[in-house]
Amino acid sequence: MAKLAPVTTETLRRMKTDGEKIAVVTSYDASFTCLLEDAGVEVLLVGDSLGMVVQGHESTLPVTVDDMIYHSRCVARAAKRALRVVDMPFMSCASVAQSLDNAARLLREGRAQMVKLEGGELMYDSVAALTQHGIPVCGHLGLTPQSVHQLGGYRVQGREEQAATRLLDEAIGLEQAGASMLVLECVPSALAKQVSERLGIPVIGIGAGVDCDGQVLVLYDLLGITPGKRPKFSQNFLDGARDIPAALEAYVAAVKAKQFPAAEHTLA
């Protein structure tokens, strides 16, 4: 069997152009990384969600750069093909200089291939500086968990016309600043569709409808093992599957076939 070429930013752009959906899942260790790659996942997101599902915190805020480096290293040791994207945790990119220093650590020590940062206009200068120094960036708009206290909880974003216009403008601004990819979390599906159509870079949705260029889920949500209430936008793919590899394959197949997210997972 021919060895598949590594996934790059150009691979993802080509998939967007060709209309092929991109499957993204969070990963925090070597064992699950192997299973996710075998299932055909194109992007592994080492998310600061590990603060909640692995470390047991109530939010992502306590996660440190050192935490992200540790888990990124674990994933990198096992990854062979998928693109590795690593979250920049809370207050690790509060200034351009800080963004450069911490992103460099994530690439140098954590072997990340792209960093993800939350926020819109405030992040333009950091995105531009990072990309100018050869560090690929994924933006994140909509529900940004690191701003949960400012947002007043885990709520859908962009429902009002003014908020929707601002989100679209910020998405365009992040692309113009140099972002190679964008995550949209918990925004109305019609708005997510508009953003995906306007941008030349891939737009990955989570709770943002089926019209994004790809989908991402937290691994523990996908397997139905996250403690507490499951988010509306997630699905337990382990339910009815013979084992974990089969559940992961079912997720990838559902994303590719545009069967996930379905109407019940979509936020109006």
Which active-site residues does the annotation give? Answer: 185
In angstroms, rounded to a whole number, what is the distance separating the alpha carbons of residues 236 and 262? 13
Asked if 63 and 88 count as a contact pair (C-beta separation under 8 A), the reply is no
Residues in CB range of 232: below 8 A, 6 or more apart: 207, 264, 265, 267
Our CA angle for 215, 23, 25, nearest 5°, is 80
Distances (CA, A) of 36 to 26, 28, 44: 9, 11, 8
Neighbours of 166 (CB within 10 A): 16
For 163, residues 6+ apart whose C-beta sits below 8 A from its C-beta are: 157
Element (H, E) at 126: helix 124-132
Is residue 75 helix, strand or coil?
A: helix
Please say whether the beta carbons of 196 and 171 come within 8 A.
no
Cα separation, 61 vs 46, in Å, equals 15
